[in-house]
Amino acid sequence: MECGYKIEKVLKMNTQLLIYFSVILFIAGAFAPLVPAIRSTKLPYLFPAAGSFMLGVYGLAVCFGLPGGSVARAEVLPFLTYSFSVDGLSGFFILIISVLSFCATVYCAGYYSSGSERMPFALFNIFVLSMYAVVTASNVPTFLIAWETMSLSSYFLVTLRGDDSSAKAGLLYIVMTHIGTAFIMVMFLVLYKSTGSMEFSAMKAASASLPANTVYAVFLLSLAGFGTKAGLIPLHTWLPRAHPAAPSAVSALMSGVMIKTGIYGFVRMNFTITGSSPEWFGIVLIVLGGVSCIFGVLYAYMEQDIKRVLAYSSIENVGIIFLGLGSSMLFRSGGFYALSALAATAAMYHVMNHAFFKGLLFLGAGSVLHSTHTVNMERLGGLVKLMPWTGLFFLVGSISISALPPFNGFVSEWLTFQSLLLGFNSPSIIAKIIAPLGGAALALTGALSAACFVKAFGISFLGKPRSQEASSSVEAHPLMLIGMAILAVLCLAGGLMPGAASDMVAAAVFQMTGTAAMSTGWHSLFIAGTFSSLSPALILLTMLVMAGAALIFVLFVSGRRKIRQSCSWDCGIKSLDHRMQYSAAAFSKPIKLIFKRIYLPSRDVRISYLLKPLFVRSMTYRGSITQVVEKMFYEKITSRIGAFAEKMKALQAGNLNLYLGYILATLIFLLIFWT
C-alpha cells in the first residue's frame, strides 16, 4: 500500500515535469526563429513537435487511466488564480489537440521549406498552447483568459495573408466569437451567482441544488456561446469564411480541434458541471444538430473551393456530434444511463474522428494549394497522376468523412445512428418522434456528404487538368506527406479498431455521464446487449474476400478476352479536351434542382451574338445560391443595428473635450445621486 502510494506520487511528479517541460518547449519554440543561426533550419519545428508529442503521450495515458488532478495552480492577483487540472475529458481533448498539432507541425516543416511564405511560429505555438489551456482550465478566469487567447491568436492567423478578403473574414470571425464569449461570460456569472464559486469543482459540487431556471439559463447560454465557436447553424456564418482564409495547417487545427473546444466547453458545462436536464434539452440539441448537418452538407455541396467545402462540412460534422450529445441528454433525462453513455461515446468518437479526417483533408487541400496555387476545383483536375500520395491521402480522408467502412467516420456515425434509433426507448412521445427523425437527417447527411466528397475528390484529382497550374503540379514535400500519412493511418485504425478507440474515449464518457460505456472487444462493438453489433474488421475482410472473388472470377472463370486499349469515354473522337469534362458546377446541378426550395438559386446567362439567333460569340453563365440563414437572420439584425447606430451618431461629435465632459457629468451625477 505504502509502496503503491509512493509510485503514484513519483508518477505524478514526473507527469507534472513532463507537462511543464512541454509548455516550455512551446514557448521556446515561439521565440526560436529569433535566433539567426537556427532560423533557416528545421530546428524551430522541433519545439512544437516535441511538445505536442509529449503532451499527446500524456493525454493518451490519461485516457487509459492515469490519474489526472490539478497540474498547476498559481495565485496571481486577488480574484485571479490560474488553475489547471486534468480529468478524463481534458485528457481526451489533450490527445486530439496533440495529434493534430504534431501532424500540422511536421507538415509545416515541409510546407514552408519552399515558397515565399514563412511559418508563423509565435502565433502557431500560442494558438496550440491556448487550446491546451482551454481544455485544462479549472476555474472561470483561467478558462476565459485561455479562451480569449485562443480566439485572438486564431484571429491573427486568419488575417495572416493580409489581403482584403481575409481581413473581412477575420473581422466577421472576431465579432462572432466575441458575441459568443459574451454569452459564455453571462453563463459563468449566472453559475457564479447561484453557486458562489469560480472553481469548476465547487460549481459541480453545488450543482445538485441549482434551481431549475439556472440550469435552463446555463444550458441556453452555453449553447449560444459555445455553439458559436463550434459553428452550429445559425451561428456558423464566420466559419466558412474564416477557416479557408488561414494557412492550411492552421485551417486543419481550426476545423479539427478549435471548433471542438466549443464542444468541450458545452460538454464541460452541461454534462460534468450541471448533471441533470429536462427532456427538451436533448430535443433542442437534436433539432439543432439535424439542421446543422443537413444545411452544412448542402452548402458544402454547392462550393467550388475545396477549403470552403471542408469548412462547410465541419458545420455538418459538428451537427452530427450534437446529434450524439442530444440523444445522450435525452436518455439521461429518461434515466437510461447506459444508453446515455453510448450516445456520449458516439459523440466523443466523432469528435476524434472528425479531428483526424478533417485535419487530413485540410492538409491535403494545403498540398494542392501549395503546388497549384489554387483550391478552385474548376481549375484543378488530374492531380492524382501528378501527386499520387496526396491523392491517396485525400481519398482516405474523403472516404472517412463520407462514413464508408472500413474507415473511422463510418463507426462513429453508425454509433450515432444507433443511439438515435434507440430513442424509441424514451418514455415521451415527442422524443420518440424527434430522435428517429434525427436519425433520418443523419442518413440524408451521410449520403449527401458522400456525394459532396465524390465531387471534391473526383473533380480535383481525377480527369484531365483544367488549367496550366494543375497540369504542372508536383508531389508535395516528404514531410508534408508524413504529416498526412499519420492522420490517414489513424483514420484507418479508428475504423478497424472501434473497441480500442471506444475504450480510449471511455474515460471522457465516464466524466460526462458517470457511467462506463459498453462491452467491447478490440475490433467490434456491441450495443445495448443484443440490439446490434458491429465489426468493421470483418466488414473489411468481407470486402477483401469479395474483391478477391471478383478478381478470380474475371481472371479465371469468365474465360479469356481480347484486350483493347483506348481512351475512356472518347466516343470515338480522338483528342479529348479538358473543357469537355464534367465541371464541378455541373456535378452539383441535380442536387441544386432537388433542393431548390432551400438553395433559392439564381442564374444569370449572358449571350453575346455575332448574328442574332444563330451565331453565338460567347456565353457566360453565373449561378449562385442564397444563404437562407444569413438572409433571414443576420441581414435583419445588421440593418436594425445600423439604423440604431445612425441615431447614436449624434453623441459622437468628434470633440475630445466633449467626450471628457460626458465623463465628468456622469461622475458628478453619480457622486450626488448615488447615496
Partner 1 sequence: MDKWLDLLSLVDFISVGILLSTVAMNTLRRIESCVKAYRLNSLLLSLLIFITAFTVGDVHLYAAGALTLLSKALIIPMFLSRTIKQMKVTHEVQPYISNGLSLVISGILVSLVYASLSEGIFVTGFSKNVLQISVAVIMIGLFIMITRKKAITQVIGLLVMENGLFLAGFSLTFGMPTIIELGILFDMLMVVLILGIFAIQIKKVFASSDLDRLTTLKG
By CB under 8 A, name the binding residues for partner 1.
76-78, 652-657, 660-661, 663-664, 667-668, 671-672, 675
The number of C-alpha atoms within 13 Å of 263 and in the hemisphere containing its C-beta is 36
Of the pair 114, 675, the CB lying nearest partner 1 is at 675
Please say whether the beta carbons of 372 and 307 come within 8 A.
no
Cell digits for 14? 514526473
The SS3 of residue 69 is strand
Rounded distance between C-alpha atoms, residue 11 and residue 604, angstroms: 67
Minimum distance of partner 1 from residue 139's CB (angstroms)? 19
List phi, psi (to 5°) of 304.
-100, -10
Of the pair 572, 654, the CB lying nearest partner 1 is at 654
Backbone CA torsion sign across 43, 47, 48, 53 = positive
Cell digits for 260? 471542438
Rounded distance between C-alpha atoms, residue 238 and residue 638, angstroms: 15
Of the pair 549, 665, the CB lying nearest partner 1 is at 665
| Cβ-Cβ contacts under 8 Å for 501 (sequence gap 6 or more) | 349, 352, 408, 411, 493, 494
Closest alpha carbon to 310 in 361, 348, 268:
361
Backbone CA torsion sign across 610, 616, 618, 622 = positive
Minimum distance of partner 1 from residue 219's CB (angstroms)? 37
Of the pair 614, 671, the CB lying nearest partner 1 is at 671
Of the pair 5, 644, the CB lying nearest partner 1 is at 644
Of the pair 3, 671, the CB lying nearest partner 1 is at 671
Of the pair 648, 664, the CB lying nearest partner 1 is at 664
Minimum distance of partner 1 from residue 185's CB (angstroms)? 22
Of the pair 574, 649, the CB lying nearest partner 1 is at 649
Amino acid present at 245: A
Minimum distance of partner 1 from residue 155's CB (angstroms)? 23
Rounded distance between C-alpha atoms, residue 23 and residue 15, angstroms: 12
Minimum distance of partner 1 from residue 665's CB (angstroms)? 10
Query: How many CB atoms lie under 10 A from the CB of residue 116?
Result: 5
Of the pair 212, 663, the CB lying nearest partner 1 is at 663
| Cβ-Cβ contacts under 8 Å for 630 (sequence gap 6 or more) | 237
Amino acid present at 446: G
- Cis-peptide into 234, omega within 30 deg: yes
Of the pair 5, 79, the CB lying nearest partner 1 is at 79
Please say whether the beta carbons of 230 and 263 come within 8 A.
yes
Minimum distance of partner 1 from residue 613's CB (angstroms)? 52
Minimum distance of partner 1 from residue 667's CB (angstroms)? 7
Of the pair 568, 655, the CB lying nearest partner 1 is at 655
Minimum distance of partner 1 from residue 649's CB (angstroms)? 9
Of the pair 83, 237, the CB lying nearest partner 1 is at 83
Rounded distance between C-alpha atoms, residue 42 and residue 378, angstroms: 35
Of the pair 620, 657, the CB lying nearest partner 1 is at 657
Minimum distance of partner 1 from residue 652's CB (angstroms)? 7
Strand ranges in 493-635 using DSSP code E only, listed in sequence order:
525-527, 532-534, 602-611, 615-624
Closest alpha carbon to 85 in 133, 134, 131, 137:
137
Minimum distance of partner 1 from residue 673's CB (angstroms)? 9
Minimum distance of partner 1 from residue 670's CB (angstroms)? 9
Rounded distance between C-alpha atoms, residue 161 and residue 167, angstroms: 8
Please say whether the beta carbons of 81 and 139 come within 8 A.
yes
Minimum distance of partner 1 from residue 45's CB (angstroms)? 35
- What letters, b where the CB count within 10 A reaches 16 and e where it falls short, cover 134-150? bbbbbbbbbbbbbbebb
DSSP string, 578-593: GGGSPPHHHHHHHHHH
Minimum distance of partner 1 from residue 644's CB (angstroms)? 17
The number of C-alpha atoms within 13 Å of 220 and in the hemisphere containing its C-beta is 8
Please say whether the beta carbons of 107 and 249 come within 8 A.
yes
Closest alpha carbon to 321 in 227, 237, 194:
227
Query: How many CB atoms lie under 10 A from the CB of residue 493?
Result: 15
Closest alpha carbon to 510 in 344, 355, 261, 350:
344
Of the pair 162, 654, the CB lying nearest partner 1 is at 654
Minimum distance of partner 1 from residue 424's CB (angstroms)? 59
The SS3 of residue 311 is helix
DSSP string, 135-161: HHB-BHHHHHHHHHHHHHHHHHHHGGG
Of the pair 571, 651, the CB lying nearest partner 1 is at 651
Of the pair 563, 656, the CB lying nearest partner 1 is at 656
DSSP class of residue 649?
G
Strand ranges in 292-354 using DSSP code E only, listed in sequence order:
none
Minimum distance of partner 1 from residue 663's CB (angstroms)? 6
Minimum distance of partner 1 from residue 662's CB (angstroms)? 10
